Amino acid sequence: MRISTSQFFESTSATYQNNFSSVIKTQGQIDSGVRIQTAADDPVGAARLLQLQQQKDMLGQYSANMNSIKASLGAQEAVLDSINTALQKAGELALGAGSGKNDADRMAIANELGSIEDQVFSLLNSKDTAGNYMFSGSKSDTPPYTRNNDGTYTYQGDDTQLNLKVSDTLTLASSDTARSIMEGATNTGRTQATFVPVLDAAGVPSVNDGKLSVSAGLVTSSPVFNKSFAEGQPYTLTFTSSTQYTLTDSKGNDLTSQVAGNGAFDPTKDGSQSFSLHGVSFDISPNLKDIPEAERDAAVAGRTFTLEAKADTFNASRTPSNTSTAQITGSTVTDPKAYGDSFPSNGAVIKFTSTTEYEVYAQPLSADSKSIAQGKVGDEVLGITFDFAGTPAAGDQFAINRNNHQSQNALDTISQLRKALVIPSDKDPLVQQTQKDAINAAIGNLKNASAGVDSARGSIGARLKAVDIQADENISLGLANDSTTAAIGNTDMAGASIELAFQKAMLEASQLAFVKISQLSLFNQL
């Protein structure tokens, strides 16, 4: 086989260039400390390095998410701590209001409760460092609570918690909603006792003169109440004397033997004037000191009270964008069956199509919502009659939220207690009973509200602990990632140095071989 001069030069030049490139490449790996300069250096290793880099980027994002969660939960926990302190103070004031205070003392307590009410309202509407409302769920640009015209409060947020991933398999909530914290507090004052007038011979109804009153009742066991009390209401409590009563349910069944004392009570002894009925405790309050003892039975006999759960009430609010000044001033259930069968559980929205006609939608209202009823001002719709003040305009909207009194937020509890305490009652036993009912209900409700806040704080603490644990896990994953990345992508200095020395020797040998062979010629053989 003959080798031409051009073939010889091309072959030796290529060998020299390859050896030179190897030296340059190895020298670069040593200088930079990076073994894989391009994907061609190690396709499998390069692909693995990309995966490791993606994992590292995700770990960095998880770390940012955990910092965000810790900052958010830390701020919420501080607000909830302040709310709990305020609720505890309100509870102390409620306890103090029931211990022999006069009108002036109760007015002072009411004023202090008003300040606490404003404080809790402001705290629940707190914003984070980004200017978003903390407790509105995903509606972070909407205040959680608004104060209605009648002094009640309505939650405007939603039930959505904001979640962030802190690992490939773990997602944690970075927020809590005011609904989950405040709206679930069990309402202990969801019942009422109503005096039943009796017509005399002339057809004139009797009035409750306060000589004998019955408390509105306190729910002591929600499961028993829900299971048994509602089934038999309304109950009829009839006094046969100043020391005896009978108790029947809505079907006329005699329940007297089912309560402690079998319908007997001692008006002179504390504790014997209370009875419990299907999870509700009622107090009898006789005020017979100015009646001769021989006449007390006659003064009390025949007085009757009905005991039942409070009827649903409604909070109505107008949309700020309404062009008219019309307001809904009252909402009354006029057809209980139609109301129970058709009124939306989450409330309704009234949307006027003219100055007198409107359509009703279930909440929440969206562009795809379909009307569930139509009506005119003054009509009964969904079993309810709405009273309007002013003339609505087409396009006006009103939100109707019902309150079944099963639960009650702390704002409404404080507000109701404050309103009850400002009414003068030093010489009015009926108002005194109303105040006593409000005080007893407030004590229980504030306790339940504090329990809800404590539960939320406990949940926050658990999530903060989970963040700390996951942070340690992510740090370990990050160290393993760095170690694997280094093993795959970093240069082995010892091996590379040996390789470089060998490659330099090869380069020098190829240089010498090229020089010697290039000098050969046939003329040298002549």
Q: Mean pLDDT of residues grouped by 10 in the chain (526 residues)? A: 58 62 59 58 63 75 87 93 96 87 90 96 92 90 87 86 86 90 92 89 80 92 90 93 93 91 81 84 88 88 93 84 90 88 89 93 88 91 91 92 88 94 88 92 94 93 90 81 63 58 62 63 52
Per-residue pLDDT at 470 = 84
Q: Please, are residues 152 and 315 in contact by the beta-carbon 8 Å criterion?
A: yes
Q: What is the CA radius of gyration of the chain?
A: 40
Cα–Cα distance, 141 to 153 (Å, whole number): 18
Cα–Cα distance, 65 to 367 (Å, whole number): 34
Tell whether pTM > 0.85.
no
Per-residue pLDDT at 260 = 83
Instruction: Indicate the domain borders of the chain.
Output: 191-310, 313-403
Per-residue pLDDT at 336 = 86
176 CB-side CA count, 13 A: 25
- Sign of torsion over alpha carbons 163, 164, 166, 170: positive
Q: Please, are residues 436 and 358 in contact by the beta-carbon 8 Å criterion?
A: no
State the DSSP code for 347. Answer: -
Verify cis geometry, omega within 30 degrees of 0, for the bond prior to 234: yes
CA angle 443-83-129, nearest 5°? 165
Q: Please, are residues 216 and 281 in contact by the beta-carbon 8 Å criterion?
A: no
Q: Are strands 235-239 and 245-248 parallel, antiparallel or unpaired?
A: antiparallel
Which of 336, 333, 330, 334 shows the shortest CA–CA distance to 315? 330
Which of 78, 79, 107 shows the shortest CA–CA distance to 93? 107
Count of CB atoms within 10 A of residue 104's CB? 10
- Please give the structure tokens belonging to residue 410: 């702390």
Per-residue pLDDT at 218 = 94
Among all chains, which residue has been given the structure tokens 């009659």? 385
